[in-house]
Protein backbone atom coordinates (compact mmCIF):
# COMPACT_ATOMS: atom_id res chain seq x y z
CA UNK A 1 0.00 0.00 0.00
CA UNK A 2 1.29 3.46 -0.89
CA UNK A 3 2.64 5.54 2.01
CA UNK A 4 2.43 9.33 2.11
CA UNK A 5 3.69 11.64 4.86
CA UNK A 6 1.96 14.87 5.88
CA UNK A 7 3.55 17.82 7.69
CA UNK A 8 0.55 19.56 9.22
CA UNK A 9 1.42 23.09 10.33
CA UNK A 10 0.70 24.04 13.92
CA UNK A 11 -0.94 27.28 12.81
CA UNK A 12 -3.50 25.24 10.83
CA UNK A 13 -4.34 23.12 13.90
CA UNK A 14 -4.21 25.96 16.40
CA UNK A 15 -4.21 29.52 15.03
CA UNK A 16 -5.00 30.88 18.54
CA UNK A 17 -7.17 28.13 19.84
CA UNK A 18 -7.80 24.66 18.36
CA UNK A 19 -9.60 24.96 15.00
CA UNK A 20 -12.07 22.12 15.48
CA UNK A 21 -13.84 22.52 12.11
CA UNK A 22 -10.57 22.45 10.15
CA UNK A 23 -9.31 19.43 12.07
CA UNK A 24 -12.56 17.56 11.35
CA UNK A 25 -12.54 18.52 7.65
CA UNK A 26 -8.91 17.46 7.16
CA UNK A 27 -9.44 14.25 9.13
CA UNK A 28 -12.25 13.28 6.72
CA UNK A 29 -9.80 13.62 3.78
CA UNK A 30 -7.13 11.62 5.65
CA UNK A 31 -9.64 8.89 6.59
CA UNK A 32 -10.82 8.59 2.97
CA UNK A 33 -7.29 8.41 1.50
CA UNK A 34 -6.57 4.95 0.05
CA UNK A 35 -2.98 4.60 1.32
CA UNK A 36 -1.16 4.72 4.64
CA UNK A 37 -0.40 8.07 6.26
CA UNK A 38 2.37 9.23 8.57
CA UNK A 39 1.53 12.67 9.96
CA UNK A 40 3.65 15.16 11.92
CA UNK A 41 1.85 17.99 13.71
CA UNK A 42 3.39 21.42 14.36
CA UNK A 43 3.17 23.36 17.59
CA UNK A 44 1.15 26.45 16.67
CA UNK A 45 0.36 29.27 19.08
CA UNK A 46 0.75 27.37 22.35
CA UNK A 47 4.22 26.10 21.37
CA UNK A 48 5.40 29.65 20.71
CA UNK A 49 3.81 30.97 23.94
CA UNK A 50 5.34 28.25 26.13
CA UNK A 51 8.74 28.35 24.39
CA UNK A 52 8.88 32.13 24.90
CA UNK A 53 7.95 31.76 28.57
CA UNK A 54 10.65 29.13 29.17
CA UNK A 55 13.17 31.25 27.22
CA UNK A 56 12.42 34.28 29.43
CA UNK A 57 12.62 32.23 32.62
CA UNK A 58 15.68 30.12 31.87
CA UNK A 59 17.41 31.65 28.83
CA UNK A 60 17.85 28.06 27.68
CA UNK A 61 16.93 27.24 24.05
CA UNK A 62 17.03 23.48 24.62
CA UNK A 63 14.42 23.78 27.37
CA UNK A 64 12.34 26.12 25.17
CA UNK A 65 12.39 23.50 22.39
CA UNK A 66 11.48 20.72 24.81
CA UNK A 67 8.33 22.52 25.96
CA UNK A 68 7.44 23.34 22.34
CA UNK A 69 7.75 19.63 21.51
CA UNK A 70 5.19 18.86 24.22
CA UNK A 71 2.78 21.21 22.44
CA UNK A 72 3.38 19.48 19.09
CA UNK A 73 2.44 16.20 20.83
CA UNK A 74 -0.67 17.81 22.29
CA UNK A 75 -1.66 18.77 18.74
CA UNK A 76 -0.92 15.22 17.58
CA UNK A 77 -3.36 13.92 20.18
CA UNK A 78 -5.96 16.44 19.01
CA UNK A 79 -5.66 15.24 15.41
CA UNK A 80 -5.68 11.57 16.50
CA UNK A 81 -9.06 12.17 18.16
CA UNK A 82 -10.57 12.90 14.72
CA UNK A 83 -9.14 9.88 12.86
CA UNK A 84 -10.13 6.26 12.19
CA UNK A 85 -7.77 3.26 12.06
CA UNK A 86 -5.15 5.43 13.76
CA UNK A 87 -2.54 4.60 16.40
CA UNK A 88 -4.17 5.99 19.58
CA UNK A 89 -0.99 7.69 20.85
CA UNK A 90 1.80 9.77 19.30
CA UNK A 91 5.07 7.78 19.15
CA UNK A 92 8.17 9.75 20.14
CA UNK A 93 10.61 8.28 17.64
CA UNK A 94 10.75 7.41 13.97
CA UNK A 95 11.42 3.67 14.31
CA UNK A 96 8.38 3.22 16.56
CA UNK A 97 6.26 5.28 14.15
CA UNK A 98 7.41 3.17 11.19
CA UNK A 99 6.62 -0.06 12.97
CA UNK A 100 3.20 1.19 14.13
CA UNK A 101 2.38 2.05 10.52
CA UNK A 102 2.46 -1.70 9.83
CA UNK A 103 -0.47 -2.09 12.24
CA UNK A 104 -2.49 1.06 11.65
CA UNK A 105 -3.49 2.99 8.51
CA UNK A 106 -2.47 6.29 10.15
CA UNK A 107 0.25 7.23 12.66
CA UNK A 108 0.47 10.79 14.01
CA UNK A 109 3.56 12.11 15.80
CA UNK A 110 4.75 15.45 17.12
CA UNK A 111 8.36 16.61 17.46
CA UNK A 112 11.31 14.42 18.40
CA UNK A 113 14.50 16.21 19.50
CA UNK A 114 15.30 19.86 20.28
CA UNK A 115 16.84 21.99 17.54
CA UNK A 116 14.72 20.88 14.61
CA UNK A 117 11.12 21.32 13.39
CA UNK A 118 8.23 19.06 12.54
CA UNK A 119 8.95 19.69 8.82
CA UNK A 120 12.32 17.96 9.26
CA UNK A 121 10.61 15.26 11.35
CA UNK A 122 8.16 14.70 8.47
CA UNK A 123 10.99 14.17 5.99
CA UNK A 124 12.80 11.73 8.31
CA UNK A 125 9.54 9.86 8.84
CA UNK A 126 9.15 9.69 5.04
CA UNK A 127 12.70 8.35 4.72
CA UNK A 128 12.26 5.62 7.33
CA UNK A 129 8.89 4.38 5.99
CA UNK A 130 9.97 4.74 2.34
CA UNK A 131 7.35 7.36 1.41
CA UNK A 132 8.04 9.07 -1.89
CA UNK A 133 5.72 12.03 -1.31
CA UNK A 134 5.24 14.60 1.47
CA UNK A 135 2.30 16.97 1.67
CA UNK A 136 3.00 20.14 3.63
CA UNK A 137 -0.22 21.78 4.83
CA UNK A 138 0.13 25.37 6.05
CA UNK A 139 -1.64 28.71 5.97
CA UNK A 140 0.22 29.70 2.81
CA UNK A 141 -1.33 28.23 -0.35
CA UNK A 142 2.01 27.70 -2.17
CA UNK A 143 5.67 28.67 -2.34
CA UNK A 144 6.19 32.21 -3.67
CA UNK A 145 9.30 33.75 -5.24
CA UNK A 146 9.59 36.09 -2.23
CA UNK A 147 7.75 36.70 1.03
CA UNK A 148 4.09 36.29 -0.05
CA UNK A 149 3.20 39.40 1.97
CA UNK A 150 5.42 41.50 -0.33
CA UNK A 151 3.81 43.24 -3.29
CA UNK A 152 4.34 41.45 -6.62
CA UNK A 153 5.14 38.06 -5.05
CA UNK A 154 4.58 35.32 -7.65
CA UNK A 155 3.36 31.81 -6.96
CA UNK A 156 5.68 29.01 -8.12
CA UNK A 157 3.72 25.95 -9.26
CA UNK A 158 6.68 23.62 -9.69
CA UNK A 159 10.34 23.76 -8.78
CA UNK A 160 13.44 21.59 -8.20
CA UNK A 161 14.80 20.49 -4.83
CA UNK A 162 17.91 22.58 -5.50
CA UNK A 163 15.76 25.70 -5.78
CA UNK A 164 13.81 24.84 -2.64
CA UNK A 165 17.08 24.46 -0.69
CA UNK A 166 18.37 27.74 -2.13
CA UNK A 167 15.17 29.56 -1.19
CA UNK A 168 15.02 28.05 2.30
CA UNK A 169 18.65 29.15 2.88
CA UNK A 170 17.98 32.62 1.48
CA UNK A 171 14.91 33.19 3.64
CA UNK A 172 16.81 31.86 6.65
CA UNK A 173 19.35 34.66 6.37
CA UNK A 174 17.06 37.48 5.26
CA UNK A 175 15.82 38.83 8.55
CA UNK A 176 14.95 37.61 11.99
CA UNK A 177 11.33 36.61 12.25
CA UNK A 178 10.83 35.95 8.55
CA UNK A 179 9.60 32.46 8.21
CA UNK A 180 9.92 30.35 5.06
CA UNK A 181 7.25 27.71 4.45
CA UNK A 182 9.79 24.82 4.83
CA UNK A 183 12.96 24.82 6.93
CA UNK A 184 16.45 24.33 5.48
CA UNK A 185 17.09 20.94 7.07
CA UNK A 186 13.76 19.59 5.78
CA UNK A 187 14.55 20.94 2.29
CA UNK A 188 18.01 19.30 2.27
CA UNK A 189 16.73 15.96 3.55
CA UNK A 190 13.96 15.84 0.93
CA UNK A 191 16.58 16.65 -1.73
CA UNK A 192 18.97 13.89 -0.64
CA UNK A 193 16.21 11.27 -0.79
CA UNK A 194 14.46 12.77 -3.81
CA UNK A 195 11.12 12.91 -1.98
CA UNK A 196 8.43 14.95 -3.74
CA UNK A 197 7.12 17.80 -1.59
CA UNK A 198 3.66 19.25 -2.22
CA UNK A 199 2.81 22.58 -0.59
CA UNK A 200 -0.90 23.26 -0.13
CA UNK A 201 -3.24 25.21 2.13
CA UNK A 202 -5.96 23.56 4.21
CA UNK A 203 -8.59 23.50 1.40
CA UNK A 204 -9.79 19.92 1.27
CA UNK A 205 -9.77 19.64 -2.56
CA UNK A 206 -6.11 20.69 -2.67
CA UNK A 207 -5.14 18.38 0.16
CA UNK A 208 -6.94 15.39 -1.39
CA UNK A 209 -5.30 16.00 -4.80
CA UNK A 210 -1.84 16.42 -3.25
CA UNK A 211 -2.21 13.18 -1.27
CA UNK A 212 -2.89 11.34 -4.55
CA UNK A 213 0.02 13.11 -6.26
CA UNK A 214 -2.37 14.89 -8.64
CA UNK A 215 -2.29 18.54 -9.68
CA UNK A 216 -3.49 21.23 -7.25
CA UNK A 217 -3.28 24.98 -6.62
CA UNK A 218 -0.07 24.79 -4.58
CA UNK A 219 3.58 24.02 -5.37
CA UNK A 220 5.21 20.71 -6.30
CA UNK A 221 8.92 20.17 -5.65
CA UNK A 222 10.60 17.39 -7.59
CA UNK A 223 13.72 16.82 -9.65
P1 LIG B 1 7.21 23.55 14.38
O2 LIG B 1 8.03 24.78 14.09
O3 LIG B 1 7.45 22.40 13.52
O4 LIG B 1 5.67 23.87 14.47
O5 LIG B 1 7.45 23.12 15.88
P6 LIG B 1 4.73 24.86 13.64
O7 LIG B 1 3.78 25.42 14.64
O8 LIG B 1 4.14 24.13 12.49
O9 LIG B 1 5.63 26.00 13.10
P10 LIG B 1 5.17 27.27 12.32
O11 LIG B 1 3.66 27.38 12.38
O12 LIG B 1 5.69 27.03 10.94
O13 LIG B 1 5.89 28.38 13.08
C14 LIG B 1 7.29 24.05 16.93
C15 LIG B 1 8.57 24.15 17.75
O16 LIG B 1 8.82 22.92 18.45
C17 LIG B 1 10.20 22.68 18.56
C18 LIG B 1 10.90 23.89 17.93
O19 LIG B 1 11.11 24.85 18.95
C20 LIG B 1 9.85 24.37 16.95
O21 LIG B 1 10.02 25.73 16.60
N22 LIG B 1 10.54 21.39 17.90
C23 LIG B 1 9.68 20.79 17.03
C24 LIG B 1 11.73 20.78 18.21
O25 LIG B 1 12.56 21.30 18.98
N26 LIG B 1 12.01 19.55 17.67
C27 LIG B 1 11.15 18.92 16.84
O28 LIG B 1 11.44 17.78 16.40
C29 LIG B 1 9.97 19.58 16.49
Going from the N-terminus, what domains does the chain have, and what CATH number goes with each? 3-221 (3.40.1160.10)
Residue 61: how many other CB atoms lie within 10 Å = 13
Which protein residues touch ligand 1 with a CB less than 6 Å away?
Answer: 9-11, 42-44, 47, 51, 65, 68-69, 72, 111-119, 121, 179
Please count the CA atoms within 13 angstroms of the CA of 68 that sit on its side-chain side: 27
pLDDT, tens digit, for every residue of 40-87? 999 999 999 999 999 999 999 999 999 999 999 999 999 999 999 999
pLDDT, tens digit, for every residue of 202-218? 999 999 999 999 999 99
List the residue whose alpha carbon is closest to atom 19 of ligand 1: 65
CA distance 100 to 88: 10
List the residue whose alpha carbon is closest to atom 4 of ligand 1: 42
Q: Quick one: pLDDT band at residue 17, thresholds 50, 70, 90?
A: very high
Q: How far is the CA of 61 from the centre of ligand 1 (A)?
A: 13
**DSSP string for residues in 58-81:** H--HHHHHHHHHHHHHHHHHHHHT
Atom of ligand 1 nearest to the CA of 181: 12
Q: How far is the CA of 68 from the centre of ligand 1 (A)?
A: 7
pLDDT, tens digit, for every residue of 124-171? 999 999 999 999 999 999 999 988 888 999 999 999 999 999 999 987
Q: How far is the CA of 178 from the centre of ligand 1 (A)?
A: 15
**DSSP string for residues in 91-103:** -SSHHHHHHHHHH
Q: How far is the CA of 99 from the centre of ligand 1 (A)?
A: 24
Amino acid sequence: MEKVVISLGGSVINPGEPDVETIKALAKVFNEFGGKLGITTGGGTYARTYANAVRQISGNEFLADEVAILETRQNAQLVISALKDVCPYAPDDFRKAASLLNTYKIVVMGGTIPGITTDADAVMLAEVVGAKRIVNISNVDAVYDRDPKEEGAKKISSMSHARLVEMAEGFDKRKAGTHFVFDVLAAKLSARSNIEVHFVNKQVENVAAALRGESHNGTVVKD
